Structure 1
Amino acid sequence: MNRVTDDGFRFLPGHLDRAAQEALVAVVARIAEEAPFTRFVMPRTGRPFSIDMTNAGSLGWIADRQSYRYSPVQPANGRPWPAIPEPLLRLWRDLSGYAHDAECCLINHYRGEGARLSLHRDEDEEDFDAPIVNISLGDTGIFRLGGPARRDPTRSFAVESGTAMVFAGPSRMFYHGVDRLRVGSSRLLPEGGRLNLTLRRVTRG
């Protein structure tokens, strides 16, 4: 059931049908040909994430021992990130209601057991007025959503393939994460796992 909360969070299961999901998987595969998935490390600890990442757009989110930040080029080869494909820009325009296009599509690949993303909030951008649009493909993720402070109460719920979520208004700065996957719950991805795409505006319009 579609749900919009008072804090601006929109939960839209089934937003993409199977054909649309398959089309986006093909889009991601083309992005990964130009910008291969990589395993970033956390600045403070140097420990690798448990998920692989890549980007499309004029800016890509990266992490290394130096910092979390956005970069116009791929760290591995210095090449620009591929442009955000039109199907993803259409999703941004349809769901964000924002006047300016997304500048980054961060793509996280959860490959199976042990893949997770700890509680965090997206705060490396300049423009917090722009929503974040989140698209899930593949295995169901157990998503955790908190509040504006790290110690706020959290709630967990299943996010199935084809779900869109929009973080707007106060929810734009809410802590969130992925606790685990229901491995094998989807056959969308040839090798299994889950893709999570987050469309973001980075600079002020």
Structure 2
Amino acid sequence: MTDPASSATQMSLLLPDTRPSRVTLSPGAIVLRGFALPDAEALHAAIRAVAAQAPLRTMHTPGGGTLSAAMTNCGTLGWVTDKAGYRYTPQDPLSHRPWPPLPALFAQVATSAAQTAGFSGFHPNACLINRYEAGSRMGLHQDKDEKDFTQPIVSVSLGLPIHFLWGGLTRSVSPFSFLLEHGDVVVWGGKARLHYHGVKPLAAGQHPLTGSCRFNLTFRFVAP
């Protein structure tokens, strides 16, 4: 006898995904659903290669707090935080060597996503890699250490889904939540460049590619 629940699941897998491939969060902020899916495995392999040179690590805020996501960087500059403050550095503070170079695929995906979202000419020189495990989160914040706000931010999600929080230009604006899934890319620039954003705590789960975690690649252009 056929299990009705199993049959329903099989049928749902055969149905086409009719959700929009492009979602506008606010003017200048676009979600490109599934944009990075064709390159997901290669992106994950590149993350492992970067982390072999510059290991993922827990960073601390200037006030002594601990960020729950493990981080590393690639590109000519890398974002770090410690008691000295938030900043970009040309060298990994752990090894005192330059950060690993930005993989060609990273740059290609970021530039293509920005172009698709309406921001041509984006050429990132920094990529922050975050690894989220169950319970990891990122509080509302602005990306404002880059000095050049004419360039967009490109954020790539790989692995477990997470709820992305999108706020306004001030903390007083209540954020709303949008589920980001494997392969989704968020691009924000122009009027949206300094909007507050973050993610809710990651729910426990297993993903075929990344296991029990989620990776996020955040591409930026940092003014020299």
In the alignment, which residue of structure 2 is the partner of 1:12?
32
Conserved 8 A contact 2:155-2:216:
yes
**1:3–1:137 CA distance, 2 compared to 1 (3 A):** same
CA deviation map 1:112-164 (0-9, x unaligned): 2x200011010101110100000000010111100000111211011001000
User: Map of 1:1-80 to 2, 5 A cutoff?
Assistant: 1=20, 2-5=22-25, 7-17=27-37, 19-44=38-63, 46-80=64-98
CA deviation map 1:65-101 (0-9, x unaligned): 1100000000111010011001111112212234352
Q: Which runs of 5+ in 2 are unaligned?
A: 1-19
Larger radius of gyration: 2
**Aligned residue identity for 1:33:** A
Across the aligned residues of Structure 1 and Structure 2, the Cα RMSD in angstroms comes to 1.4
In the alignment, which residue of structure 2 is the partner of 1:202?
222
In the alignment, which residue of structure 1 is the partner of 2:121?
99
Conserved 8 A contact 2:25-2:166:
no
**Aligned residue identity for 1:11:** V
In the alignment, which residue of structure 2 is the partner of 1:85?
103
Q: Equivalent residue of 1:23, what SS?
A: helix
CA deviation map 1:162-203 (0-9, x unaligned): 0000011111100000112232152221x4210000000010
**What's the TM-score, normalizing by structure 1?**
0.93
Identity of counterpart residues, as a percentage?
38
**Aligned residue identity for 1:181:** L
Conserved 8 A contact 1:140-1:186:
no
Conserved 8 A contact 2:146-2:222:
yes
Conserved 8 A contact 1:142-1:182:
no
* Matches of 1:156 and 1:101, distance apart in 2: 28
**1:6–1:64 CA distance, 2 compared to 1 (3 A):** closer
In the alignment, which residue of structure 2 is the partner of 1:178?
199
**Aligned residue identity for 2:158:** L
* Matches of 1:98 and 1:40, distance apart in 2: 33
Q: Which runs of 5+ in 1 are unaligned?
A: none
In the alignment, which residue of structure 1 is the partner of 2:150?
129
**Among candidates 157, 170, 174, match of residue 149 of structure 1:** 170
